Structure 1
Amino acid sequence: MRKWWPLVTVCLGTFMLLIDVTIVNVALPQMATDLSTSFSSLQWVVDGYALALGVLLLGAGALSDTHGHRRFYVGGLIVFALASLACGLAANPALLVTARVVQGAGAAAMFTTTFALLNSSYQGRDRGVAYGVWGGVSGAATAVGPILGGLLTEAFSWRWIFLVNLPICVAAVIMCFTTLRRDGARLPGRFDLWGTATFTLAAGTLTFAVIRANDEGWSSIKTWGLLAVSAVSLAAFGLIEWRSADPMFDLRLLRNRSFTGILTAGLLVNFAAFAAFTYTSIWLQSVTGLSPLRAGLVGLPMSVAAMLASGFAGARLHGKSPRLIITGGMVLIGAGSLLLALLVGPASEWPALLPGYAVIGLGVGLVMPALASSAMAAVPHQRGGMAAGALSTARQLGFAIGIAVLGTVFASRAADHLGSSSAAHALAAGQAGRLAGSVPSSAIHGAAAAGLDAGFVISGVIGLICALAVFVLVRPVSAPEPSVREAVGV
């Protein structure tokens, strides 16, 4: 049993950092009430974490290679713990969002060292078992997040979804020093500071522009100014990486059509499959009146369907072209989102979500394992770590951008129905109760349904576009053999 303690140590950190992507969703209405947050602040509570985790993964990987993987993992745990404490004690939205960004930075430091720590701890068959367990824990974090968030929020308060991380972090740090191998001497290497800075600026200003468009409008000079900064920063990142002798991301990988298609799928799958759940959780609690726990349980059919589809794909679709598997999965995700748009109306309750959730779950179960293995097979072996980091980065960025875009759409459609931007923002921020005295209940339900339906339609279209892109770009080859790099978390 002793040999598996390094795996337990790594899985503790992985479970925490992945569960914090989704655990906040069911707590958003209570946060909004306690902190009197604006709609933009509520979006940043989710996006700040996902964005920091996404944009810092590649740079953190390079730093961990030179400074030591155990050192970096421990440092990430400490940063994550302190930021979690700050989240739990936050007295206003600005402090909460700032702490979430720092928490995301700590999560990036932990996540980027996962493969290296498992590789150094296990060999041969044991390594395969370790990666299988780690992959299962990663998948479980996605399913458990909303349920655990609902339990903690309902039994105590939303602050405990962050404070519960503290004892786990303390235990994980102690286990790092007692179970993981010591790092050797620091290796020489150059950190791609300018590449990291320009990529972070590009992703951050793009997300900020979309969120700010809720208040400023798409015709605003400020909105277009932010978009211009994002475009210039992205161009600068490309130029820096092209000219760098040791790039954070080798742009030559994009010459491979299959890898480009897989990276596109990674960027769009979280947008199409998961971004709308932030707003369905708000709708379930603040409009239909569900408790945080029941709202979390509504998503369980999707998780079950994903696990069943993943098991079926592993048993029956081995050796099939990943092009067809990913394309079929994205078609299901798109179809599930469009089904939600058809079923959710002003008079709907939580059962209206279940059929669409189940179809989306089937698609997710097909796409996620195939994405990971295909990304590794599409690039040279020595670029496998870079490919894994790029795929994880794309998925987190797609999630962050999706939340921003769908939030703008939700608020815009709700404003059209309510005739008031401030009322629409209050509804989107989970504060429907504040509108009860001044806005008819039928109008609130109609506005919420309109906002959700518009988001589902966009998610569905994104899913179908992604399916077409994968079918066109990814070459029709046999599925790659399983690899220890296949497990890439949410």
Structure 2
Amino acid sequence: MTTTYDDPRRWWALAALGLAVLTLGFDITIMNVALPTIATELEVGTDALQWMVNAYVLVIAGLMLTCGALGDRHGRKRLLLIGLGLFGISSAAAAWAGAAALVIAARGVMGLGAAIMLPVAFAVLAALFGPAERGKAVSFLVMGLGIGIPLGPIIGGYLLEHFWWGSIFLINVPIAIIGAIAIAVLLPESRDPAPRRPDVLGAVLSTAGLTSLVYGVIEAPGRGWSDPVTIGPIGAGVVVLTGFVAWELRVRDPMIDLHLFAQPQFLWASIAGVLVTFGMLGLLFVVPQYLQFVAGHDALGTGIRLLPLIGGLVVGAPAGERLAARAGYRVPVSAGLAVLAAGVAIGAFTDLQSSYGFVAAWLATAGLGIGVALAPAMDAVLDALPTEQAGSGTAITMTLRQTGGALGVALLGSLLSEGYSGRLNTAGLPPEAAETARESIAGALAAATRLGDPALASSAHAAYLHGMSLVLIAAAITAGLSALLTALLLPGRPTAGGDHDRRSPRATTVPEAREG
């Protein structure tokens, strides 16, 4: 069996993977700044705009488990090239689409490409890097994905100021081409040498259950948690996923090995990753609206003012990797969650008189905590997996993060909405204007401008800050409790720097010369 631990090309291959996940990161958020422009250009309503965003998220959440297992079975390099191809072609189709339905369909295919690339990119690291180097490689990919998410509004704002709305999709095409060429040339093939039989029913159940669950969660903030369109899909998703778990535990060759959750290191590292994602997406849900609607910045200015969050993450990820190498996974993961809790707790004191310097400081602190915790948590997951299960095992963690992130945004969105509408003063407004103002701060400011009512705008600003404080307090409590639980329950030390390799004896890397 040939490994690639000494192949100097592995670092160039890592750079190609980093470019790919960076693109996937900013595509999660780049749509948000483009929606008003797309609504005007394509003459579409709110429902179509929501589907342009949600189609991407739904497909990722629904198919990541299946795609991770396919990478283990059919070859991770092959799956990465397929994923990049789908992502690039669908991005070009979305850029030149002339109707909302085409954009939605293209976004769904982009989600399929992302569902392939996200778990497989991390799984490849187990074959490319030995224990002594894997932590650095993981922190690099975590930085790429983490930086990409807040980078979306910056890139989107710049492109919309200088080009047409389709440019936010077209930018993916050259990146996909460059990434595909680099991966084709530099990345060796790796797969499970003794793959299990295809688990078709497991794939169907996981896809249907996750898609239904995440759809219901996404609909909850707008429709309410008691609406049939929310309860029905969530209930159906839970039932189907229960059936999926029962099937996976009894079938001879399951798509994913649920017994991995019996390993405390895999279980608690996965949970930590979910909770860090919860905090990060909570920040990215409330802070851009604060910067745009309360502080008065445009889309590009809002994106630029998120850079301290990126800076903290860039500093934190390698620091977490170095700390894990010396002290074990538990220390950086719990410390990072504690720092994240401190950052967002400080942010809860933001008021109308707060300077941007204050906001930048707590954003940087939160970013530092995210970086310190997330890279070691992901490395701990990989360290707990035999290499032949790296794709399916990583897919479990990434799916949990995606689903938990969607649930977190929905819960925090509901909390923000309740806090905002409860504090907003709409006394004396026409009924229609009052309803519009209660729906969102954007609606309140539009109504204030239309009615010439500065008092409504002031009330909306204060009400939004109240809602944002509630969200940040909830995120701080969650991160703080997570830090405590991780400190108590996450075991294990990294293998980095040791003289042993925990790869399964079944693991294999197919030499490049044998490809084709």
Q: Structures share a fold, TM > 0.5?
A: yes
Which residue is 1:481 aligned to? 496
1:300 aligned residue (304, 307, 314): 307
Does the CA-based 8 Å contact 1:83-1:100 persist in structure 2?
Answer: yes
Which residue is 2:84 aligned to? 77
| CA distances 1:298-320 after superposition (whole Å, capped 9, x unpaired) | 12112222232334344456331
- Quote the offset at 1:87 in angstroms: 3.3
Does the CA-based 8 Å contact 1:26-1:149 persist in structure 2?
Answer: yes
Matched, 1:361 2:367: yes
The aligned amino acid for 1:449 is: L
Matched, 1:376 2:392: no
1:58 aligned residue (60, 65, 79): 65
Cα distance change of structure 1 residues 307 and 38 upon mapping to structure 2, 3 Å threshold? same
Does the CA-based 8 Å contact 1:286-1:433 persist in structure 2?
Answer: no
Which residue is 1:246 aligned to? 253
Matched, 1:437 2:443: no
Percent identity, aligned pairs only, is 30
Where structure 2 has 5 or more consecutive residues not aligned to the other structure, the ranges are 1-6, 427-433, 503-516
Which residue is 1:320 aligned to? 327
Distance 2:184 2:141 in 1: 20
Q: How does 1:123-134 map to 2 (within 5 A)?
A: none
Matched, 1:194 2:207: no
Does the CA-based 8 Å contact 1:299-1:357 persist in structure 2?
Answer: yes
Cα distance change of structure 1 residues 244 and 136 upon mapping to structure 2, 3 Å threshold? same
Which residue is 1:403 aligned to? 409
The aligned amino acid for 2:396 is: A
- Quote the offset at 1:179 in angstroms: 5.5
| CA distances 1:211-252 after superposition (whole Å, capped 9, x unpaired) | 333443333344322322122122112112111222232121
1:459 aligned residue (475, 481, 497): 475
Does the CA-based 8 Å contact 1:341-1:453 persist in structure 2?
Answer: yes
- Alpha-carbon RMSD across the aligned residues, in angstroms, is 3.9
Distance 1:454 1:225 in 2: 28
Distance 2:131 2:278 in 1: 36
State the secondary structure of the residue aligned to 1:342: coil
1:154 aligned residue (148, 156, 161): 161
- Quote the offset at 1:418 in angstroms: 5.5
Distance 1:126 1:253 in 2: 24
Does the CA-based 8 Å contact 2:317-2:372 persist in structure 1?
Answer: yes
State the secondary structure of the residue aligned to 1:335: helix
Matched, 1:280 2:287: yes
Distance 1:353 1:459 in 2: 16
Cα distance change of structure 1 residues 209 and 62 upon mapping to structure 2, 3 Å threshold? closer
Deviates further, 351-360 or 366-375: 351-360
State the secondary structure of the residue aligned to 2:255: coil
Q: How does 1:197-216 map to 2 (within 5 A)?
A: 197-216=204-223
Does the CA-based 8 Å contact 2:273-2:378 persist in structure 1?
Answer: no
Matched, 1:330 2:355: no
Does the CA-based 8 Å contact 2:60-2:112 persist in structure 1?
Answer: yes
Distance 2:319 2:74 in 1: 41
| CA distances 1:112-145 after superposition (whole Å, capped 9, x unpaired) | 4435666777899999987776566455535644
| CA distances 1:134-173 after superposition (whole Å, capped 9, x unpaired) | 5664555356444323322332244322111123333444
Does the CA-based 8 Å contact 1:411-1:451 persist in structure 2?
Answer: yes
1:391 aligned residue (393, 397, 400): 397
1:99 aligned residue (99, 106, 111): 106
Does the CA-based 8 Å contact 1:55-1:397 persist in structure 2?
Answer: no
Which residue is 1:488 aligned to? none
State the secondary structure of the residue aligned to 1:245: coil
The aligned amino acid for 1:21 is: I
Which residue is 2:514 aligned to? none
The aligned amino acid for 1:167 is: P
2:487 aligned residue (458, 471, 480): 471
- Quote the offset at 1:80 in angstroms: 1.0
Does the CA-based 8 Å contact 1:375-1:388 persist in structure 2?
Answer: yes
Distance 1:370 1:121 in 2: 18
Q: How does 1:31-70 map to 2 (within 5 A)?
A: 31=38, 45-70=52-77
The aligned amino acid for 1:481 is: A
1:413 aligned residue (419, 426, 429): 419
Cα distance change of structure 1 residues 395 and 320 upon mapping to structure 2, 3 Å threshold? same
Does the CA-based 8 Å contact 1:25-1:278 persist in structure 2?
Answer: no
Cα distance change of structure 1 residues 478 and 169 upon mapping to structure 2, 3 Å threshold? closer
Cα distance change of structure 1 residues 222 and 135 upon mapping to structure 2, 3 Å threshold? closer
Cα distance change of structure 1 residues 464 and 304 upon mapping to structure 2, 3 Å threshold? same
- Quote the offset at 1:268 in angstroms: 1.7
| CA distances 1:380-407 after superposition (whole Å, capped 9, x unpaired) | 5654443322222222222222223333
Distance 1:212 1:178 in 2: 43
Which residue is 2:232 aligned to? 225
Cα distance change of structure 1 residues 123 and 461 upon mapping to structure 2, 3 Å threshold? closer
Matched, 1:109 2:116: yes
| CA distances 1:32-74 after superposition (whole Å, capped 9, x unpaired) | 6656776676665545434432442221122234444344223
Does the CA-based 8 Å contact 1:274-1:399 persist in structure 2?
Answer: yes
- Quote the offset at 1:7 in angstroms: 4.9
